[in-house]
Chains A and B, each alone.
Chain A
Amino acid sequence: MSTWAIILIFYNIFVIFYFISINGFYLLLVLLSYFGLRKQRTVERVSDRYQTFHSAFYKPLTIIIPAYNEEATIVDTAYSALALKYPEYEILIVNDGSRDDTLPVLEKEFNLKKYARDYNNDIPCETIRGIYSSKDYPNLVIVDKENGGKSDALNAGINVSQFPLFCNIDSDSLIDADSLLKTIDLFARDWRTVAAGGTIRAANQCRIEDGQVTEINLSPKFWVRFQIVEYLRAFLFGRAGWSSIGGLMILSGAFSIYRRKAVVQAGGYNLNTVGEDMELVLRVQRVMKKINREYRVVFLADPVCWTQVPENYRSLKNQRRRWQRGLSESLFGNFEMFLNPQYGTTGMISFPFFLFYEFLGPVIEITGYLVFIFSVFVGILNPPFVILFLTAAILLGILLSTSALLMEEIYYRSYPRARDILVLFGYAILENLFYRQLHAWWRFRGLLDFFFTKRSWGTVERKSFSEKKQAVEQDS
């Protein structure tokens, strides 16, 4: 037998074991998240949040919304933030040097007036050109600054923020009215909590009134439906599972809350990555460990943030490539956590998992398909085995996606129509037949971007919540 044949055989065996181990991990996460979500529900039942958490004891909070060329969505986002139920908070919209009418739109809608407000320079950021307050809404503040990218806008927001906690929300996202209360509860019930986040769901086709999602509808677009299933899987068993064992490595940049002090100690958001949300979570953990401070990063499935997910192939592809690049940058920027027992579950389990399965996953998956086909061609593997193995792989993927749907059905039932959940079940099946493979290819391209340092954000087509289409070029 030739060396090449031996290499091929070993690679095939490696791919099979890789496949077994990754799916074993995922099934374990499903179980962990089931119990984790059940525990969250018990806590919810026992807490008397609506009665107790409206008093003056609660820590005030700043909501930071970075905005770059967001004239289509920014007003809805601001109204959504203004509609939140929370005793004391201020909203900081950071206009990151937009080239469109983001600032004029805000000025017109909220009756803005420039004023002299002092702020700290805890974290370096681009020049702040002006700070505006609304005459109509005293807790709405607009920070106008030179363009520096999303991370820089968030850092500027942190500098201007005055409260001990801050929440970042993407400008194309809306959060449920009681999401802040639910998430802040995680900080109140555990002094170790330094960061917390909730679930992201697709707002496409949902009815929005006064900045709140009032009717949940299923988008007719198939790219969106795939993403709904994907998001359910990522949040309801991915993050819920990791959170239940204290191994959470990422909180969504679209909605998460941090202790300001911890983030300032960590140096704020990193300007050199497109995965600033994950990178910050990891860096905060490292810094907390260095200063010998106990910490927790937690996820709660119930507080929901609604976001517009890409509706076409190009935007989705760009987003996923960017995410993969962000993941890679975050992992390599915080590599000291890898197999470092100091970081507990995160260092010993989550980090290696993300490195071997999330970072390397696309390479193994793409090369696995190719090697399988080649092995059949040269007679190393017999076709029935490959067909059955791939069938089992696809069915396992379907099982994982449908488990997330089951979790959604048991705990939340967000989609009121039974038909919608059945349609999503169909998409959970379809997703594994071609979307997953396509996704692996995009992630593979994201890895190439990482290694060959592609810096552009690509093009994202963005729609206002009131259905006005607008293409937005993001090139921070």
Chain B
Amino acid sequence: MWQDYGYIEEEKRVKPYDFKLMLRLTGYVRPYISLLVLTSLLIVAATAAELVLPYLTKVAVDRYIVVSHQIVRTESPDKATRELFARSHGLFIPSGRDGVFFLSAENARKLDPLDAARLKKSGLLQPKQYYLVPNKPGTAMDVVRENPGLFQVFPAGALIASTDLSRLDESQLARLRAGDVAGLAWIAVICCAVLVLGYFFNFAQVVLLETTGQRMSHDIRQDLLKHVLTRSISFHDRSPTGVLVARVTNDIQNLNEMIKSVAVTLFKDFFILAGIMAILIQINMRLALLTFALLPPILLVTGIFRRLARDVFRELRGKVAQINTAFSENMAGIRIVQVFRREEYNSREFARLNHDNYLAGMRQIKIFAVFMPLIELISALAMGVIIWYGGLSVLSEAMTLGAVVAFIAYAQKFFQPIRDLAEKYNILQSAMASLERIFGLLDDRSALPPPSVPTPLPESKGEITFDRVSFAYRPGEPVLREVSFRVPAGRTLAIVGATGAGKTSIINLLLRFYDVSAGRVLVDGRDVRELDPAGHRSRIGLVMQDVFLFSGTIRENISLAGKDLPMDRIRSAAEAVNAAGFIESLPLGYDQPIGEGGLSLSVGQRQLLSFARVLARDPRILVLDEATASIDSETEKLIETALARLTAGRTSIIIAHRLSTIQRADQILVLNKGRVAEIGTHQELLSLHGLYHHLHLLQYRENRLANHTR
């Protein structure tokens, strides 16, 4: 029962076995092949141990508990009888007296049924059952001598009627049947040994299987995650994060479930089924076939149940997810619910959802309440058939009693795996769907093409050139048209323009989140497409409007920009961007956990933190998208000075919103509808009396308006 993280997969129906998909898994299976083989062997061993137990009971009953012999007399046999004797001579034990033989119950069963019937009919085989005491030196024969009236003595041994056994006292019985009791002890000992072995086999198998399955899943998960992480940004724009997360977690989990409880246990179930079928056939062919006749109805019932159970389970899961969403939303928005006096209304809505869940739950109960008894009824039917037909066979000596008892035991074990298979079919089906989705994702080829021969990165100066760059996210909707500009190393370019003018696209292209449609983006004179993307990006420090913090400590968030940064470097970066003040005032300072579940920081603090993150890495190039949200004035001031320190000596491109930033820039680029409208210094642009001048005047007027109220 895995938690649903607000995301339910639309499950299409797929076939439970898709060998092409399975084949692709082999690459992941290979490192674990020996473990898997070992697991399979353990399963066979454990199953064998399990199957041996009823057989041991059978042996105990037939060989040591209910041992009986019948007397066969052949004093004046006709021709047919003589032939019969010749045919199955080995089955009869000579009594040492002419024409008298003993026939054990076990051997009687081996007799051809026709022959047995003929013997019975001719009166040669007497129905009376005897216990045979072999004539060996020992205490057993003493009992015979002590009770001459009860025994018929033959040279080979003495016979006592089965019904007369109870006329002996306990000590006599003990002496008489010491051999049987010793045999029972042996069986009990074997039984214990089998049990202990079975336990170890089972335990080892479960742990090994879990280990194999989990490790394999982990490998696939890492591969998938790596694949997702290296997809282009346009891929991530297209794919909702929730879906990708579900692939990496839930789908892999489904797969693990399959590897674990299906792929190998399926094997076990089939093995048990086949094993039991073989044993049953071996014990008695006809009765076995009669029992198997119940298979089709069982399969039909389980098939129907499987579908119903899956549907209702899905429905229930959906309802639970809805309830959880409603619940968490109402808790998260409790103030709004209360202020808007929605308590009653929402309670009613919730009660409706809750009742739907109840109804689905009841449906599930009903489905199980019908299915479980049905299966049991069918297995009782099997038991009835065995008692009836098996009983008849015992009467006609075609089967021993122990065989019937064993048959009952095996038949009961027979139906369990079938019930399990129904369950596993569903798991298998959903795992196949997951597998299809996982490979579908792995097949995505949307990473940016790496350079064929990556140019080694020269010592970077940080000069940036856009050479007639055009770009469109979607074909036919150009966002940038023929944009050209050059930022000399160490200088600052401010980009201004309306929302949608293409400011962010310039950043995206510089970082090579996307590739240009036409033109070139050059860094130090080299096309970014010729550079190794990772090396290229590592020279650029990016600060985005919405600062993204990972859950972790402040320190970890700052050193995201560089592995294992020494503490003094982190501290000096924080100090340089005015972040040290607020960080040190936190209860745990640099070790304060932030982000999801941690302390929440203000917009301004987050901004400062992202400055520190970039500064700690000391990149040649700085790319910054200024925050638009209004921040209280003191923090604003801190940010401004931090920014000045950040840009000093670095090539910087800033999407600017603050007047101060714009005025301090070496160059200002005015972007209008994807084109460069004007470019130059603040003074130059003002003197142009163009767009920038116009905008500046507007801002100036706004300020004057404010002054006017004074």
Decide whether A and B assemble into one complex: no
Q: Which residues of A contact B (CB under 8 A)?
A: none
